[in-house]
Structure 1
Amino acid sequence: MEHVPPPAEELALLDRELVRLDARRTQLLHRRAWLLTVVRPPAAPPPFAPPGARPPAAPSVWGPPPTGAPAASVSGARGAQNVLLVLGGLLLAVAAIAFTLLSWGEMGIAGRSAVLAAVTAGALAAPAALLRRGLSSTAEALAAPALVLTVLDAYALHAVALPGADGAGYAAAASVVLASLWATYGLSLRRLRVPLPAAVTAAQLPLVLWAWSAGAPAVVFGWALLVTAAADAVVASRCGGLPVRVTAWSWAAVTGAVALLIGLTSSLSADGALSAVGPAALLLAGAVAVAAAGWRAPGEWAVAAGAVAGATAVVAVGGVPRAAVPWSWAVVVYLLCAAALSAVERLRAVPRGVVRGALGASAAVAAGAVLLVLPVVASALLGPVALPAGVWSGAPEGVREALGASMPWRDVAPAPVVLLVVAALLGARYAARPRTAGPVPGWWAAAGAGSLGLGWAAVPVLLAVADAPYAVAVVVDVAVVAGLLAVAVRRAPDGPMWTALGCAVAGAVGAGLLALASEPATYAVSGALVVLFGWAATVSRVVVVRSLAAVASVLCALVVAVAAGVSLEWSAPRAALVVLVVPAVTVALGVRSRPPAVPLAVSLSLEGAGAFGALVAVGMSVADAPYLALVLASCGVLAATTALRPERRPGAGYLAAGLFVAAAWVRLAASGVRDVEAYTLPLSVVACAVGFLRSRTDPALSSWAAYGPGIALTLVPSLLVAWGDTQWPRPLLLGVAALAVTLLGAARRLQAPLVLGGTVLALDALHELAPQVAQVFAALPRWAFPALAGLLLLTIGATYEQRLRDARRVRRSLGRMR
C-alpha cells in the first residue's frame, strides 16, 4: 500500500510544523513574562537598601526558579527550605546534647574546652555572616542551636570546673549570665527573632532558683515570682518587638498567677493574724502590680486587670482579720473588704476600665457570699413546710422548734449579717441612681430589687438565728408582708415593685405555714393577710398587682373557712358549707363591681379564686352524697347569681344549669331512687317548655340553652340506671324515647336534641348488644380479630378521603343547627 503523501514528504511536513510550534511557544513565553511584570510588580527594596539598589533575591535551596515558572514554586521552595532548616537545627542541637552528655568523658580537658569553644564561637558567629549575605532563614535556624550550645557550656563548666557548687545556686547564676548574653546577642543582631525571647525566658529562673537554693518559705517564692512578673511587664511595655512583647506578657501572666496563688494559699492557711501579714503584703503588692499593668491597657484588658487587682486586694486585706476570727465569720470579713473596695469608684484618677474591673470583683465577692448562705436562707424559708411541731399542736417556745433541727443555727450566725450587708450595698447603689422622669434604668432597678429581696430573706434567717419567741416571729413575718405590700402598691411597675410583690406572697405563705402550729395564730395570721391583700387589691393602681392581691386575699379567706370547720369539729362534707361562704362573698363582690371602677382582669381574678373555693368545697363533700348534692345546688345558685350580669350570662348560665342537673342526679342516687324518671321527667317537661317559650321570643337562642338541660335531666340518669338493669323494659323505653328525641332534633334542625338523643340511643343499643357481641368474639378463632382489624384499617385507608369529606359534611350540618 502506498502512503499519501509519501513518507519523505510527510517527515518534512512534520519537521516544519514542529519548528513553527517551537517559535510560537517562545513567543508565548516572552509574552507571559512581560504580563507577569505588569500584573505583579517586583517587591520594594528594604528600608536599609541604598537608593536605586535592586532588592535581593529570595534565598532558595534549589536555586532561582526558571523563567516563566509559576509563582507558586517560589513559596513551595521557601516552605521546603524552612522545613529543612528547622530539621537541621534540631539535629545539630541533639548532636550537641549527645556529645556533651555521652562523649564528654572520652576527651581530655584541653580537647573538651577547645571543642566547645570552637563550636560555640562558630555557631554564634555564623548567623552574623549569613545575615550579611541575606540568608535570614538559615541564620535563624543556626541561632537556636547556638543558644543551646551556650547552655551546654554552662553545664560543662559546672561539671568540670565547679563540681562542688550548689546546683540551684549555680543554675541561678548561670541563668543570669545566659539571659544577659542572649540579650546582648539579640540586640547586636536585631534581625534574629530567637535570642531576645530566649533571654526573656531565661530571666524567669534566677530569683526562683536563688529562693530554692536558700530554702526559703513559700511567701519568699511568691515574692520572687512577683518581682519576675513585674520585670516581665516592664520589658513588655518598653520593648518594641512583637515576639519579645508576646513572650514577656505570657511569662508575666504565668509567674504572676503562680505568685498570687501562693499568696492566696498562704493567707488562707495562716493560723494567726501575725502569720497572715506576710501573705497579705505579697497579695497587696501583686494587686498594685496588676493594677499598674492595666493602667494603660486597652479596653477589656484594663477591666480584667482591675478585676484581678480588686479580688487580690480583698483577699489581702481580709486575710489578716480573717485569721483572728472563727471560720464561720470569714465570709463577713471578706464581704466587708469587698464593700470597702467599691469606694474606688470615687477615684477619678484611676482609669475607668480598671474601676469597672474592681467594681466587678467587689460584686463577685458579694455574690459569692450570698451563695454561701443560700442553704441557710432555704432552711429558714422552707422549714415551716415540714411542720415539725404538728398542725395546732400548740405554740412552740421559739421559732427554731417550729423550723426543726435541719440546720445547726448556732453555727450560721453570720448568715443574716451577710444578707443585710449586701442588701445595704445594693440599697445604697439604688439610692445613688440618676433621678429621671422616666422608668428607672435596668441596672439600678436590679439593684433595688436585689436590696428588697435580700432584706426580706434576712428577716426569717435572723429570727431563726436569734431563736426569737414564736409569737414575736409570727408578728414580725406579718409586719414584713405588710411593709412589702405597701412598697408594691405605691410604686410604678418596675423591678422593685415586682420583687416586693413576690416577696410579700412568699412571706405570706411562710407566715401562714408557721402559724399552723397554733390555732389562735392560724386565725390571726390568716385574717390579717386577708385584710392586707384586700387592701392592696383596693389601693393599688396596677392591674396585675390588684389581681394577684385579690386572689391571695381569697385564698387566705379559704384557709380561715377551713380552719373554722375544723374548730367546729365538723366533718369535711359538712365543713364544705362553711367554705362556700367565701365563693358567695366573691360572687357578691363581683355583682357589685363594674368597670371602669374595677378592671375586668381584677373582677375575673376575684371570681376565678371564688370558683376555686367552690371546687374545694365540692372536693370536701365528695365522700357524702347528700352533702355533695347540697353543695352542687349551692354552687348552682352562685352561678345563677353570676349569670345576672349580662357579660357573664352565657358561661355562668350554662354552668348553673349543669350544676343544678348534677345536684338532682346526686340527690336521686343518694336517696336510692331506682325509678328516676318519676322525678326527672316532670322537671324535664317543665324545663323544655320554658326553653320552648324562650326560643319563641329569642330565635337566636342556642338549642343547648333551651332544651339541653331539660333533655339531659331525664335521659342521662335513665341511661345510668339502664346500664345496671338486667330487664328489658327500661332499656327498650329509653331507646324509644332517645329515638324520638333524635328524630325531633333532626326534623326541627336542633343540635342539642339530635346529639343528646343520638348519643343515648347509641349507648343504650351498645348495652343491649354487648352480651351477643361478647359471645360472637368468644366463638371466633384468635386470628379472626387481627384479620378483621386489618381489613377495617385497609377499608378506612382506601376510603380515607371520602370519610374525611363525610365527617366535614356532618360537622357543617351540625354547625348549621341551633
Structure 2
Amino acid sequence: MENVPPPAEELATLDRELRQLEARRAQLLARRAWLLAALRPAAPFAAPPPAGSGRPFAAPAPAETSPPGVQNLLLTLGGLLLAIAAIAFTLVSWGEMGIGGRSAVLGAVTVAALGTPVVLLRKGLSATAESVGVLGLVLTVLDAYALHRVGLPETDGLGYSALASAALATVWSSYGLALPRLRTPLPAAVVAAQLPLPLWALTADAAAPPIEWALLLTAALDVAVVLWTRPAAVKVVAWTAAATTGGGALLTGVLRSLTADDAAAAAGPAVLLTVAAAVALLAAWRTSAAWVSAVAGLALVAGVGGVVRTAVPGGWAVLGYLLCAVVLLGAVRTPLPRRLLPGLAGAAAAVHAAALLAALPLTALALAGPATTLTGIWSGGSGLPDLNATTTTLLPAPLTLLTVAAVLAVVARYRDDASDRRPDEAGQDSPVPPAAAGPGTAAWLPRTPWSPAAVRRAHGDRIRAAARCGAVATAWAAAVTVPVVSGTGHSAAVAWQLIVTLGVLALSTTVRLRDVSVTALVCGLGGSVSVALLSLATRPATFVVLGVLVGTLALASLRTKGPVQALLACTATFYAAVLAGAGAAALGLPAHHAALVLLTVPAATAVLGAVLRRHPAALPVEITGAAAALVALPLASGDAPTLALVLALCGVVAAGTAVREERRPVAGHLAAVCFVAATWVRLAASDVTSPEAYTLPVTAAALALGVLRRRKDPQASSWTAYGPGLAATLVPSLVAAWGDEHWLRPLLLGLAALAVTLAGARLKLQALLVLSGAVLALDALHELAPYVAQVVGALPRWLPPALVGLLLLGVGATYEQRLRDARRLRESLSRMR
C-alpha cells in the first residue's frame, strides 16, 4: 500500500528536485562550453599591424571549409577516381592480358579493396575505410560483369543479371553484417535485392513469376527488412524501395482488374491486391504508418470491387466499389489494432468521395436543367433534361447518393468508446484507472482542455458535424434526381421538387443543430431556384410554385432569428416580385404597365418595414423591395408618361419611408431625387417648352418648406432644405435654355442664377452657391459658344497652340498660389451649411 504525501509536502519535494536539476544542468552546460573551447583550433598569432594602422591586431581569416569536410571531399574524390580506373581497366585494358592474368589482377584488387577496411577500422580511420569499402563494392560489380563476358558469354543477359544481383545482394549484406561500422554495404545490398525477381520475371523462363507478383514479393522482402533491421539508413532505403516496387505491383493489379472482362479474369488481380493489402497491413501494424494502412484499404476495395464490377451492368460498377468501401468502413467496429483503423477509415472515405463525385453530375444536371425554360416560358415543355438513357442506367446515381448519406448518418452517430484511453508502452490502447496513479504521475491533476482525450473528442465532434452536413446534402441530392431518373411528367416533377424543397426548408427551421440547419437552408434555397425555373414551363405551375414559395419562406422567417431570418425574408420578397411580374405577364400587360405592378412590392416592403421598425430583418427586406423598383424603371423607360408616374410613385414610397427617423437620411434624399426626376420626365413627355410655369410653384413651395425646416433645425444641411426646390426649376430651365435660340430665356436664367449665387455667398449656404453657380457657368458658356467658335475660326492655326503654351506656362508659374487659393475656397465652402 502506497502512502500519498500531503500536497504541501509533495510540493516542497518537487521544488527541491527541480533545484537540484537546475544545478546539474548548469554544471553540464559549463562542461560543454569548456569542451567546445578545447576542440576549437587555436588561432595563430597575427603579425603586428603596420605603423599608422588603426587596428592593434589583425583578425584571422574565417575558414571557408571545415577539416571533416575537406577529409570527406578528398576521400570521395579518391574513391571515385579509383572506381573510374577500375572500370577503364575492365572495359579497355582487359583484352591485353591473358585469362589468368585478368582473373588474378581483378580478383586480387577486389580482395584487397574488401579487406583493407578491416585494417583501417582497427586504426580508427572509419571515413577512409568507408571510401575503400565503396570501391570494393564497385569492384564486385565489375567482377560479375567480367565473369559474364569471359566465362559465360552465351548466358541470357536478363537471367544472368538476376542471378548476379542476388549474389551481389548476398555478398554485400554479409560484408555489411561482418563490418557493422561501414554504413554503405547494407543499403547497397537492399538496392541490389530489388533486381533479382523483376529481372527473372522479364525472362522467357516458364517458371518465372508474373511481373506484378515479382514486384509484390520484392516489396514484401523490403517490408521484412524494415521490420527486422536496426540501422536507420537501411530502413529508409527499404521503405523507399518497398513504396516503389509495391506501388508498381498495385498499379499493375488495378489496371488489370479494370480491364478484366469476366470474374475469372478479375480473380487474379483481386488475389494480388489482397496479398498486397495484407503486406501493407502488417507494415502498418508494426510501424504505425497510417498512410500504409490507407493503401491497404484501397487495395482491398480495388481487388474485391473489380470482381463485383464484372458481375454487374456497366452503370452499377461505382455502386459495387462503394459497397466494398462500406464493408471496409465496418472494420472500425472489429477487434483490429487501433493503429490500423485511421488509415482504413481514410481509404473508405476516399472511395466514398470518389463515388460521390461520380454521382454529382446527374444532380447538377437535375438542378440546372430547368434553366432551359427561360428561352420558352409557358411553352408547355417538360423543363427536364432529356438524357436518352433508361431508368436502369440512371438508377445507380441516386442509390449511390443514398448509400453515402446512410453511411454519413451512421458516422454522425458513432462515438469512440476509447476517447478516454491512452497508448501504453506496447503501442496498444489501455484505460488509465485512477487508482493506479501514484505520486509520480499527473493523474490526480484536473483534466485540461488541451489533454489528449479532449483533443480527440474535439476532433471527433468536428467529424460528426461534417458527417451530419454531408448526410443531409447527399440525401437531398438523391431526392432531386428522382424526376430525371424516373422520367416523370412535368406536373409530377414540379410537385416532387416542391415537396423536397419544402421538406428541407422545414428541416432548417426545426432542427436545433446549427450545422444541419445551415446545410438544409442552403439546399432548400438552391432547390427553390430550381423548382421555380422548372415551373416556368406552364402558367398554372408558375403561380402555384411561386405562391407556395412566398408563403413558405415568409412563415419560415417567422420561426427563425438572426441572419437566417433576414435571408429567408429577402428570398420571400424576391419570389413575391417574380410572382408580381408573372401576374402582369398573365394579364397581357405591356412592359411599362408591368412596371406599375412591380411597384406593389416596394410599397408592401415599406409598409412591412414600418411595422417591424428597428427589427434586424426590416432593412434587408426594404432593400430587396427597392431592388424591384430598380427593375421597374427600365421596364417603364419605353413610355415617358408611365416612367414619370413610376418615378413619382417611387418618390411617394421613399417619402413615406422617410417619415421614420432611422430611414430619413437616405429615404429623404431618394424621395427628392425621384420627385424631381419625375417632374423632368413628365415635362419632357408633354413637350412643354416653358417648364418654369410648372416648376416655379413647386420651387416656391419647396423653398418655403426648406425655410421652415432650417428654422426648426438650424443644423440641417442646405442641400436637404433648398437643394430639391432649386433643382426643380434651375435644371429644367437650363436644359430648355440650351435648346432655345432666343436671348430672353438664357438672360433671365442667368440673372436668376446670379441672384441665387449672391444670396448663397451672403448667407454662406453651400447648396445655393454651388448649384446656382454651376447653372450660371453653363448658361454663360452656352451664350459664348457661338462667338468663341467664330473667333477660333478666324485665328491662324499656329495661334491656338501658342496660346495654350503660354497658358500652361502661366499656370505653372502660379501653381503654388492657385493651390493655396483653391484650398482656401474649399475650406470656406466646407464651413457653409
Q: Normalising by the residue count of structure 1, what TM-score does the alignment of the two structures yield?
A: 0.83
Counterpart of 2:210 in 1: which secondary structure?
helix
1:553 CA drift (Å): 1.0
Aligned to 1:17: none
Kindly provide the amino acid, as one letter, of the partner of residue 372 in structure 2: A
Higher mean Cα deviation, 797-806 or 185-194? 797-806
Whether 2:309 is the aligned partner of 1:322: answer yes
Aligned to 1:304: 291
Counterpart of 2:481 in 1: which secondary structure?
helix
Pick the aligned partner of 1:350 from 325, 337, 344.
Answer: 337
Aligned to 2:98: 107
Do 1:416 and 1:458's aligned partners in 2 also have CA atoms closer than 8 Å? yes
Do 1:445 and 1:494's aligned partners in 2 also have CA atoms closer than 8 Å? no
Do 1:580 and 1:617's aligned partners in 2 also have CA atoms closer than 8 Å? yes
1:812 CA drift (Å): 3.3
Matches of 1:86 and 1:408 in 2, distance apart?
72
Aligned to 1:60: none
Do 2:591 and 2:636's aligned partners in 1 also have CA atoms closer than 8 Å? yes
For each residue in 1:579-602, what CA deviation from the matched residue of structure 2 results, as whole angstroms up to 9, or x when unmatched? 12222211221222234xxx2x31
Aligned to 1:476: 496
Cα separation, partners in 2 of 1:160 and 1:645, compared to 1, 3 Å: closer
Pick the aligned partner of 2:376 from 372, 386, 390.
Answer: 390
Do 2:216 and 2:249's aligned partners in 1 also have CA atoms closer than 8 Å? yes
Aligned to 1:49: none
Cα separation, partners in 2 of 1:689 and 1:151, compared to 1, 3 Å: closer
Cα separation, partners in 2 of 1:268 and 1:519, compared to 1, 3 Å: same
Kindly provide the amino acid, as one letter, of the partner of residue 713 in structure 1: A
Aligned to 1:622: 637
1:306 CA drift (Å): 2.1
Whether 2:629 is the aligned partner of 1:611: answer no
Do 2:374 and 2:533's aligned partners in 1 also have CA atoms closer than 8 Å? no
Whether 2:364 is the aligned partner of 1:367: answer no
Do 1:533 and 1:549's aligned partners in 2 also have CA atoms closer than 8 Å? yes
Higher mean Cα deviation, 654-663 or 251-260? 654-663
Matches of 2:605 and 2:559 in 1, distance apart?
18
Matches of 2:787 and 2:798 in 1, distance apart?
19
Structural mapping, 1:569-584, within 5 Å: 569-584=588-603
1:145 CA drift (Å): 4.0
Structural mapping, 1:47-126, within 5 Å: 74-75=67-68, 78-79=71-72, 81-98=74-91, 103-104=94-95, 107-108=98-99, 110=100, 113-126=103-116
For each residue in 1:348-379, what CA deviation from the matched residue of structure 2 results, as whole angstroms up to 9, or x when unmatched? 54243x32222222222222233334433332
Do 2:274 and 2:299's aligned partners in 1 also have CA atoms closer than 8 Å? yes
Aligned to 1:669: 684
Cα separation, partners in 2 of 1:39 and 1:431, compared to 1, 3 Å: closer
Matches of 1:470 and 1:79 in 2, distance apart?
81
For each residue in 1:332-354, what CA deviation from the matched residue of structure 2 results, as whole angstroms up to 9, or x when unmatched? 222222232222333454243x3
Aligned to 1:21: none
1:165 CA drift (Å): 4.6
Aligned to 2:190: 200
Do 2:573 and 2:601's aligned partners in 1 also have CA atoms closer than 8 Å? yes
For each residue in 1:152-171, what CA deviation from the matched residue of structure 2 results, as whole angstroms up to 9, or x when unmatched? 44445455555555444444
Matches of 1:278 and 1:719 in 2, distance apart?
92
Aligned to 2:450: none
Do 1:85 and 1:137's aligned partners in 2 also have CA atoms closer than 8 Å? no
For each residue in 1:250-307, what CA deviation from the matched residue of structure 2 results, as whole angstroms up to 9, or x when unmatched? 2222211111112112111211111111111111111121222122325xxx122122
Counterpart of 1:806 in 2: which secondary structure?
helix
Matches of 1:111 and 1:119 in 2, distance apart?
12
1:561 CA drift (Å): 1.1
Whether 2:395 is the aligned partner of 1:380: answer no
For each residue in 1:457-481, what CA deviation from the matched residue of structure 2 results, as whole angstroms up to 9, or x when unmatched? 3333332122222112111222222
Whether 2:496 is the aligned partner of 1:486: answer no
| Equivalenced residues, count | 742
Counterpart of 1:274 in 2: which secondary structure?
helix
Aligned to 2:673: 658
Matches of 1:413 and 1:781 in 2, distance apart?
86
Matches of 2:282 and 2:336 in 1, distance apart?
13
Do 1:219 and 1:278's aligned partners in 2 also have CA atoms closer than 8 Å? no
Do 1:179 and 1:199's aligned partners in 2 also have CA atoms closer than 8 Å? yes
Aligned to 2:284: 294
Higher mean Cα deviation, 480-489 or 261-270? 480-489
For each residue in 1:162-210, what CA deviation from the matched residue of structure 2 results, as whole angstroms up to 9, or x when unmatched? 5555444444333333332332233223333333333323322332233
Identity fraction in percent: 50
Do 1:561 and 1:579's aligned partners in 2 also have CA atoms closer than 8 Å? yes
Higher mean Cα deviation, 806-815 or 678-687? 806-815
Cα separation, partners in 2 of 1:477 and 1:119, compared to 1, 3 Å: same
Aligned to 1:631: 646
**CA RMSD, aligned part only?**
3.4
Cα separation, partners in 2 of 1:84 and 1:538, compared to 1, 3 Å: closer
Do 2:200 and 2:208's aligned partners in 1 also have CA atoms closer than 8 Å? no
Structure 2, gaps ≥5 residues long: 1-33, 42-62, 418-453
Aligned to 2:486: 466
Structure of greater Rg: 1
1:807 CA drift (Å): 3.5
Do 2:220 and 2:242's aligned partners in 1 also have CA atoms closer than 8 Å? yes
1:327 CA drift (Å): 3.8
Structure 1, gaps ≥5 residues long: 1-35, 44-69
Aligned to 2:38: 40
1:531 CA drift (Å): 0.5
Aligned to 1:283: 273
Whether 2:573 is the aligned partner of 1:554: answer yes
Aligned to 1:175: 165
Do 1:332 and 1:414's aligned partners in 2 also have CA atoms closer than 8 Å? yes
Whether 2:613 is the aligned partner of 1:591: answer no
Matches of 2:140 and 2:769 in 1, distance apart?
107
Matches of 1:75 and 1:166 in 2, distance apart?
46
Do 1:283 and 1:316's aligned partners in 2 also have CA atoms closer than 8 Å? yes
Do 2:543 and 2:579's aligned partners in 1 also have CA atoms closer than 8 Å? yes
Pick the aligned partner of 2:547 from 527, 544, 559.
Answer: 527
Cα separation, partners in 2 of 1:350 and 1:791, compared to 1, 3 Å: farther
Counterpart of 2:287 in 1: which secondary structure?
coil
Cα separation, partners in 2 of 1:409 and 1:620, compared to 1, 3 Å: farther
1:764 CA drift (Å): 1.0
Do 1:449 and 1:499's aligned partners in 2 also have CA atoms closer than 8 Å? yes
1:219 CA drift (Å): 7.7
Do 2:595 and 2:636's aligned partners in 1 also have CA atoms closer than 8 Å? yes
For each residue in 1:574-629, what CA deviation from the matched residue of structure 2 results, as whole angstroms up to 9, or x when unmatched? 1222212222211221222234xxx2x31111111111122222221111011112
Aligned to 2:705: 690
Cα separation, partners in 2 of 1:686 and 1:355, compared to 1, 3 Å: same
Matches of 1:427 and 1:86 in 2, distance apart?
64
Structural mapping, 1:241-280, within 5 Å: 241-280=231-270
Structural mapping, 1:786-797, within 5 Å: 787-789=802-804, 791-797=806-812
Aligned to 2:414: 432
Whether 2:401 is the aligned partner of 1:419: answer yes
Counterpart of 2:281 in 1: which secondary structure?
helix
Do 1:430 and 1:447's aligned partners in 2 also have CA atoms closer than 8 Å? yes
Q: Normalising by the residue count of structure 2, what TM-score does the alignment of the two structures yield?
A: 0.82
Matches of 2:36 and 2:379 in 1, distance apart?
102
